[in-house]
Amino acid sequence: MTAQTAKARQSSRQLRTDITRDPATIEQAQRLRYEVFSAEYGSDLGATTPGIDADAYDTLCDHLIVIDSRTGNLIATTRVLPESRIREVSEFYSAGEFDLSALASLSGSVAELGRTCVHPDYRNGATISLLWATLAEYLIRHGIDYLIGCASIGMSDGGHKAWRIANHLQATYLADESFRVTPLRELPHLTNAPATDRPVDVPPLIRAYMRLGARVCGAPCWDPEFRCADLLVLLEVDNLAARYSRHFMGRAS
């Protein structure tokens, strides 16, 4: 066992996961989201309460969280909205960024993943694996067939990095034609993008989506409020990457 592996395993034993709709815990998640997203995207997120990233979807979602048992701090979160709960908001959050009509014919249960973030001090394999393990158990337990969500890429450099990542993901992980969606606000094309042969630096959370078996459903959308580029990703739960599926389903049984 390498020192890095041993450290990751030790770290994972100090973390615990939960699924909650408790308002006080959700507020902790909203504060973490604001801290992470405002720093990464250089935006106030349109927050109505200082320091809190909140919207109408939060009360309808199940919130998956990771907590550091040593400090009690919430250090990672994501939220899941089953389609059975969208009556109060009329549509999934991602419908505000993409024309989802191509997905209307999906046969099976659909849920939306959103607002995924991890505190910078905990961005390692142990934390992300625990978050995805909790997600996989949730999907299997609730009989979810398809998971959709927006994967965000920062635009602090004017969009050069976002376009490189988006082009790479579309070339490597593009969904079948029947799953393609259209952005409502196209990401502006760059005419002066610098040439580079550097490897594409895909954000860790998006890499994790792809390892789970997710696919990109088309071109990116420009999100002016968050100052980022969003890609719609879709995961067919039956097609979870084999090594994740075996591990997670074993835990869920």
- Looking up tokens 């990233």 gives 53
Q: How many CB atoms lie within 10 A of CB 191?
A: 5
Domain 3-252, CATH: 3.40.630.30
pLDDT of residue 190: 59
Type and span of the H or E element at 231: strand 228-236
Helix axes 125-141, 3-13, angle to 10 degrees: 50
pLDDT of residue 93: 95
Q: For 30-39, what is the mean pLDDT? A: 92
Among 46, 94, 67, residue whose Cα is nearest residue 231? 94
Yes or no: say if 65 and 22 are a contact pair by the CB < 8 Å rule: no
Domain boundaries, the chain: 3-252
Could you list the beta-strand ranges (E) of 50-190.
62-68, 74-82, 98-99, 110-118, 146-154, 182-183
Residue 189 neighbours by CB under 8 Å, 6+ apart: 163
Residue 152: strand pairing partners:
230
In tens, the pLDDT along 177-234 reads 999 999 999 988 754 455 556 788 898 889 888 988 899 999 999 988 888 899 999 9
Residue 179 neighbours by CB under 8 Å, 6+ apart: 102, 103, 215, 217, 234
Q: Is the pLDDT of residue 10 over 90?
A: no
